[in-house]
């Protein structure tokens, strides 16, 4: 069963903090996953918003190298992140992502595989090679752009928390524990 709408709470939609609507989408995606819904059945754009936040969190916590390592350099995820940055209009972040992707892809295959298999912390020359603090200098906020994009999305469904749970229970076919 393919879900057709990105679902967020009315409170999150109306909240002044842009992170609130992004987190509402993330909560719905996580809940659907917990209830056994496959990622392919969740709206592609809901997943894209979800993974843009993941990408941002990884960069904020440990830089691009951490994203590479924690995501196990997933080409499928890279496509989603690139497309997401394009769709939300994050041009500077997209340029950074493309630049850093080129650095990763220039690594010898054996070096990248060894990086992904070893411990992240401690001595790690590949991690250090992927380090690029210019991400923190970008004058562009992924969360703000993600929130604006979600708010205007044609598939967005804004519901009260009670109505949101009722809708999600219909979608998963059983009661959901709150």
In the chain, where the domains are located:
6-171
Write down the mean pLDDT value for the chain: 96
6-171 maps to which CATH number? 1.20.1420
Could you identify the residue written with the tokens 């999600």?
A: 168
**To which H or E segment does residue 7 belong?**
strand 6-9
For 95-99, 119-123, 150-154, which range has the lowest pLDDT when averaged over its residues? 119-123
The reported pLDDT for the residue numbered 57 is 98
With 0.85 as the threshold, say if the pTM is over it.
yes
pLDDT at 166 over 80: yes
Q: Which two tokens stand for residue 23?
A: 């987190």
Helices (H) and strands (E) in the chain, counts: 9, 2
pLDDT-derived band at 177, boundaries 50, 70, 90:
confident
**What are 11-61's pLDDT values in tens digits?**
999 999 999 999 999 999 999 999 999 999 999 999 999 999 999 999 999
The reported pLDDT for the residue numbered 178 is 78
pLDDT at 1 over 80: no
């Amino acid at each position: 069963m393919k879900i057709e709408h990105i679902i967020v709470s009315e409170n999150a939609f109306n909240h002044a903090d842009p992170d609130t609507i992004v987190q509402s989408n993330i909560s719905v995606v996580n809940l659907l996953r917990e209830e056994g819904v496959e990622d392919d059945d969740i709206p592609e754009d809901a997943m894209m918003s979800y993974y843009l936040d993941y990408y941002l969190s990884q960069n904020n916590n440990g830089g691009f190298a951490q994203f590479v390592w924690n995501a196990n350099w997933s080409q499928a995820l890279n496509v989603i992140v690139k497309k997401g940055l394009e769709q939300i209009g994050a041009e500077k972040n997209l340029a950074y992502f493309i630049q850093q992707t080129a650095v990763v892809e220039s690594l010898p295959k054996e070096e990248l595989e060894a990086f992904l298999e070893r411990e992240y912390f401690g001595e790690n020359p590949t991690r250090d090679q992927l380090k690029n603090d210019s991400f923190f200098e970008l004058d562009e906020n992924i969360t703000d752009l993600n929130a604006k994009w979600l708010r205007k999305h044609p598939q967005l469904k804004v519901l009260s928390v009670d109505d949101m749970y009722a809708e999600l229970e219909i979608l998963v076919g059983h009661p959901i524990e709150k």
